[in-house]
Copies of this chain bind each other. A is one copy, B any other.
């Protein structure tokens, strides 16, 4: 069993980690499109083109399933990716993200609790989360966070000041709710969001993605043990000489 995991950069590594924890005997191929990161400030047409190109590369490696571990691609290019993949099952992060936010909301006062969706500009403008979550949802774009995370500024004064710019008004107004990190890069800076949003429940889609695979038609194959290469990750970066240190260490 071989699963492809795709992101614009190193964000999908947060999802890959959760998948490896849940399905340790599976083989993985991770593709980071470092030649084109960040996706979130590009147009829908460009995001669809780039995502389809990456899907083609992953399909050629013979994967049995694809996890689109990028909210921007999941929100804007899922149909284009599915066209490329044909019979190969495709899992995205939007559905699991919505599920994670709803579960947190139930623990946090029910449908009257605010859900603050934090994502790239393209994801926010697609309103994929807003439509799925309904009332009491705030959608906030955070376009500079992916470049800072790719730069490794995970606990830097500039990062904290930037997050304050994006979420400070919500932290000050009203009572705490649920903050959904709707970009797979953002779990890298979970602690920074906790600091900026005291009292808020901060969730992401990584665990829910693993659950969606476990409930799917390929569930049985994910549990099969054995195979000498099991658990390994093959890394593909479209610009191999421009990979952040965090990914090289991982």
List residues of chain A with CB under 8 Å of any chain B CB: 34-36, 38, 41-46, 143-144, 147-148, 150-151, 153, 156-158, 161-162, 165, 239-242
Contact = CB atoms under 8 A, between A and B. Distances in A.
A209 B239 CA distance: 31
Q: Which 10 A-B pairs have the closest CB atoms?
A: A43-B241, A147-B147, A43-B242, A46-B239, A42-B242, A158-B162, A43-B239, A158-B161, A35-B46, A42-B239
Number of copies: 2
A43 B147 contact: no
Nearest to A238: B46
A151 B147 CA distance: 12
Given A43-B242, A144-B147, A158-B162, 20 more contacts: A34-B42, A36-B36, A41-B151, A41-B242, A42-B242, A43-B240, A44-B241, A45-B239, A45-B241, A46-B239, A46-B241, A46-B242, A143-B151, A144-B144, A144-B148, A147-B147, A158-B158, A158-B161, A158-B165, A161-B161
A242 B50 CA distance: 14
A3 to B, nearest CB: 27
A242 B38 CA distance: 12
A240 B46 CA distance: 10
Contacts of A161: 157-158, 161
Nearest to A49: B35
